[in-house]
Structure 1
Amino acid sequence: MTGLGATATTDVLVVGAGLAGLHTATLLARRGHDVVLAERRASPASAVRTTGIFVRKTLDDFPLPPDCLGPPIRRVLLYPPNRRRPVALVSDRDEYRVGDMGPLYTRAAADAAAAGVRIALGTRYTGRDGGTFHLAGRDGTTAVRARFLVGADGARSRVAQDLGLDRNDRLLVGAEEVFALSGSGAEPPTFHCVLDPSHAPGYLAWVVNDGRHAHVGVAGYADRFPDGLRRTMERFSASAPGLPGVTRPQAVERRGGPIPVGGVLRRISCPDGLLVGDAAGAVSPLTAGGLDPCLRLSEHAATVLDTALRTADRQALHAYDGAALRTAFRGRLTLRRALSHLRTPTATAAAFPLLRTPLGHAVATRVLFGDRSFPSAVGG
């Protein structure tokens, strides 16, 4: 959106224009700070990776544009490997909505620009030299002098490496196809979850059918896919549940990428900058949901950076402490380890009857419909 020239000076350089980077940049600009945001893609709406599933807490607490959201979903079906007798969970509240992520990113980028953020698209972050950060774009290179650097550059963050911060080492990989649907369908909007290690080793395969779009995907540990991720995706997509009587058109979008599931990293800040979103590991270890954490952690990051900028005290970034936040993830990390040990369909099927008990049903309901969200800055 803007050309930076050979040199530039700013308060904060944000690398990455996903929701985390855009939200952090916008909040800082609205507080009066000069912000440059560099994004390697030519458009924020291209090469979308996330499934775009927003949970109720996010929908309640953040003003997302309604026209970028699909119909509300209250129904979840959990399938064993043989896909017989799924466990049904139905809420009396709207629990999920799937975002149309391309338009949503475009809207967020427009909001950032309106707040005063200088957005450089088609521009890669290439490294640092002290307080100077180097960018490479279509019009050449730019040396940016910034007081602080924010890494919003994904699960394998280059910024984390350059700042000497922690990097994600527990990753799933996922792939998804999105289909546009016509007609309202025979069933209410439903989130179908298939627990089958032959399709999704250590995680799950899914179909989200909200009547407008169907999102069909798989995710798991990269080294455990028996036929590789692409072939596994093809097998699951050919027989995925939740699409009765649907004549499937060509996929309108294909997505994929790494998903950090090790919880928030311990060292996510230093006196020179900090990490947000996937770069900080701000993803639920259990559900792999990252949209709510990225928005909440970005608000904390913007508050800490605002304090540091106004007081000229770099040590203020010590308040952005991943180790303190990790304490709230102990239970989810334990469940993540348990799920990772279900390596065969037989083992998964043997564990599945627990979900049919009152206790198992209650636990599943709490996980999928619970009120807990990403922990606050004090670990609550």
Structure 2
Amino acid sequence: MRRVDVLVVGAGLAGLRTAGLLARRGLDVLLVDRRRSLSAGIRTTGIFVRRTLDDFDLPDRLLGPGIRDVLLYPPSRRAPVRLTSDRDEYRVADMAGVYEHARHAAEEAGAQVLLGVRYTATTRSAGGGAGRRAVWLAGAEPVMARFVVGADGARSRVASDLGLDVNRRFLVGAEIVHPIAPGRGAPAFHCVLDPRIAPGYLGWVVDDGRHAHVGVAGYPEAMRSGVRHLLEVFAEDAPGHAPPTGPVERRGGPIPVGGVLRRLACPAGLLVGDAAGAVSPLTAGGLDPCLRMSELAATVTAEWLRTGDEGVLRQYDGNALRARFRGRLLLRRAFAGLRSPAAVEAAVAGLRGRAGRGLAARVLFGDGSFPDVPLKPALTPGR
């Protein structure tokens, strides 16, 4: 049975980044994912916001053109509210390429990545502490790991096995992605607020001049005809949607919107990414928080394995982050309550005034979609 310091479960952006950061700290890291290819089963639209692009080194060749225009449509689709930034606010990434780039970085740092290997279970240790635990895998031999990082998505099996909190509140989304003919003008982000197709959230078309991303998301209990059917209906006449010029790819999956979970870590492991609920409750964006929280997760993990001090694990505290999400969680509840098209029509009309446009611009263009995750002085790398 192989022995490792850390087993990371899930090769999404959070898992790959955490594995690479831990390997750079000299730990023996194994990352497993049940997919046989990182280009399979992509669930995210791949929209990176300006703050992420400013703070993290993402390869320019994997990013589409900058997007400055956002159009907000009421259910009638008439007279959208147009918001234009003086800076590039969004860029849509080739996520298969981003994953491969992150995998290469993790392997270069010393982590081993095994695809086609499914996590099955972790054997709990009665004694607690930083001792090794047996982890069972389908497609590979079991391993003895000192610590397990759950990066296995919104419905995390690792979270359940370790007795950590699990996501309870979800949107469910579906999206089609396809190439479009060039030369259609400036890239734009079209958002349709219509509870008939996206109850509690929105439908979107992101045209970055190269590809179109067309999707819908909403609360599953209100999507009575099913998210795939609603996507097909929406895509037929979605604003800004150009016809495909190549193969169409389908994506989809659950999006946790209950905020960062409270209990994220224990002596046996911790959670990152969607498994941790690290998604903005209001905007449902998860790429920025998964990168921000991964650094703290890697620092806490390395320090815990070095010292065995359980006080270190308390630094990875979901309660502290949830306190900074109160306003966005309240707005999420208000958004979820808009089930009448007439009410949404009135709400969008309210965004046409100066105050409304300012609020919309703050949500869409502001720097506060996800708070910084501070490193306390005792845990700052190099100390």
TM-score, shorter chain, exceeding 0.5: yes
The separation in 1 between residues aligned to 2:205 and 2:372, in whole angstroms, is: 31
Calculate the aligned-residue CA RMSD, in Å: 1.4
The separation in 1 between residues aligned to 2:108 and 2:37, in whole angstroms, is: 17
Does 2:315 match 1:316?
no
Does 2:11 match 1:13?
no
Cα 1:343/1:379, change in 2 over 3 Å: farther
The separation in 1 between residues aligned to 2:94 and 2:222, in whole angstroms, is: 31
The aligned amino acid for 1:238 is E
Measured after TM superposition, the shift of residue 205 of structure 1 is 0.2
Does the 8 A contact of 2:363 with 2:369 survive in 1? Answer: no
Does 2:39 match 1:45?
yes
The separation in 2 between residues aligned to 1:314 and 1:247, in whole angstroms, is: 55
Match of 2:223 in 1: 225
Does the 8 A contact of 1:192 with 1:207 survive in 2? Answer: yes
The separation in 1 between residues aligned to 2:145 and 2:91, in whole angstroms, is: 37
The separation in 2 between residues aligned to 1:95 and 1:84, in whole angstroms, is: 24
* Equivalent in 254, 258, 261 of residue 254 of structure 2: 258
Question: What secondary structure does 1:77 align onto?
Answer: strand
- Once the two structures are superposed, the pairs formed by residues 176-255 of structure 1 within 5 Å of their partners are 176-185=175-184, 187-243=185-241, 246-249=242-245, 251-255=247-251
Measured after TM superposition, the shift of residue 189 of structure 1 is 0.6
The separation in 1 between residues aligned to 2:301 and 2:371, in whole angstroms, is: 19
- Once the two structures are superposed, the pairs formed by residues 38-77 of structure 1 within 5 Å of their partners are 38-77=32-71
The aligned amino acid for 1:179 is H
1:171-202: CA deviation from partner (whole Å, max 9, x where unpaired): 000000001012221x3110000000011110
The separation in 1 between residues aligned to 2:223 and 2:54, in whole angstroms, is: 37
Question: What secondary structure does 2:325 align onto?
Answer: helix
The separation in 1 between residues aligned to 2:292 and 2:369, in whole angstroms, is: 9
The separation in 2 between residues aligned to 1:70 and 1:376, in whole angstroms, is: 25
The aligned amino acid for 1:374 is F
Does 2:171 match 1:172?
yes
Match of 2:77 in 1: 83
Does the 8 A contact of 1:325 with 1:378 survive in 2? Answer: no
Does the 8 A contact of 1:325 with 1:379 survive in 2? Answer: no
Cα 1:251/1:331, change in 2 over 3 Å: farther
The separation in 2 between residues aligned to 1:379 and 1:267, in whole angstroms, is: 18
Does the 8 A contact of 2:154 with 2:277 survive in 1? Answer: yes
Measured after TM superposition, the shift of residue 47 of structure 1 is 1.1
Does the 8 A contact of 2:123 with 2:134 survive in 1? Answer: yes
Question: What secondary structure does 1:17 align onto?
Answer: coil
Match of 2:143 in 1: 144
Measured after TM superposition, the shift of residue 313 of structure 1 is 2.8
Does the 8 A contact of 1:176 with 1:215 survive in 2? Answer: yes
The aligned amino acid for 1:240 is A
Gaps of 5+ in 2: 125-132, 377-383
The separation in 2 between residues aligned to 1:198 and 1:373, in whole angstroms, is: 26
The separation in 1 between residues aligned to 2:365 and 2:375, in whole angstroms, is: 21
Measured after TM superposition, the shift of residue 310 of structure 1 is 2.1
Question: What secondary structure does 1:47 align onto?
Answer: coil
Cα 1:324/1:247, change in 2 over 3 Å: closer
Does the 8 A contact of 2:280 with 2:369 survive in 1? Answer: no
Cα 1:43/1:112, change in 2 over 3 Å: same
Measured after TM superposition, the shift of residue 222 of structure 1 is 0.6
Does the 8 A contact of 1:57 with 1:373 survive in 2? Answer: no
Match of 2:265 in 1: 269
The separation in 2 between residues aligned to 1:177 and 1:121, in whole angstroms, is: 25
Measured after TM superposition, the shift of residue 123 of structure 1 is 0.4
Does the 8 A contact of 2:296 with 2:375 survive in 1? Answer: no
The aligned amino acid for 1:176 is E
The separation in 2 between residues aligned to 1:372 and 1:379, in whole angstroms, is: 18
Match of 2:325 in 1: 329
Identity of aligned residues (%): 62
Measured after TM superposition, the shift of residue 46 of structure 1 is 1.2
Match of 1:4 in 2: none
Does the 8 A contact of 1:191 with 1:207 survive in 2? Answer: yes
Question: What secondary structure does 1:298 align onto?
Answer: helix
Q: Does 70-79 or 369-378 show the bigger shift?
A: 369-378
Does 2:374 match 1:372?
no
1:220-255: CA deviation from partner (whole Å, max 9, x where unpaired): 001111421111110000011013xx4334543110
The separation in 2 between residues aligned to 1:300 and 1:184, in whole angstroms, is: 42
Cα 1:249/1:182, change in 2 over 3 Å: closer
Question: What secondary structure does 1:203 align onto?
Answer: coil
Match of 1:349 in 2: 345
Measured after TM superposition, the shift of residue 378 of structure 1 is 4.7
Match of 1:108 in 2: 102
**Paired residues, number:** 368
The separation in 1 between residues aligned to 2:314 and 2:245, in whole angstroms, is: 51
Does the 8 A contact of 1:44 with 1:109 survive in 2? Answer: no
1:239-292: CA deviation from partner (whole Å, max 9, x where unpaired): 11013xx43345431100000000100011111110000000000000000000
Does the 8 A contact of 1:198 with 1:226 survive in 2? Answer: no
Question: What secondary structure does 2:142 align onto?
Answer: strand
Match of 2:155 in 1: 156
The aligned amino acid for 1:152 is A
- Once the two structures are superposed, the pairs formed by residues 94-105 of structure 1 within 5 Å of their partners are 94-105=88-99
Measured after TM superposition, the shift of residue 314 of structure 1 is 4.2
Relative to the length of structure 2, the TM-score reads 0.94
Question: What secondary structure does 2:48 align onto?
Answer: strand
* Equivalent in 26, 48, 53 of residue 32 of structure 1: 26
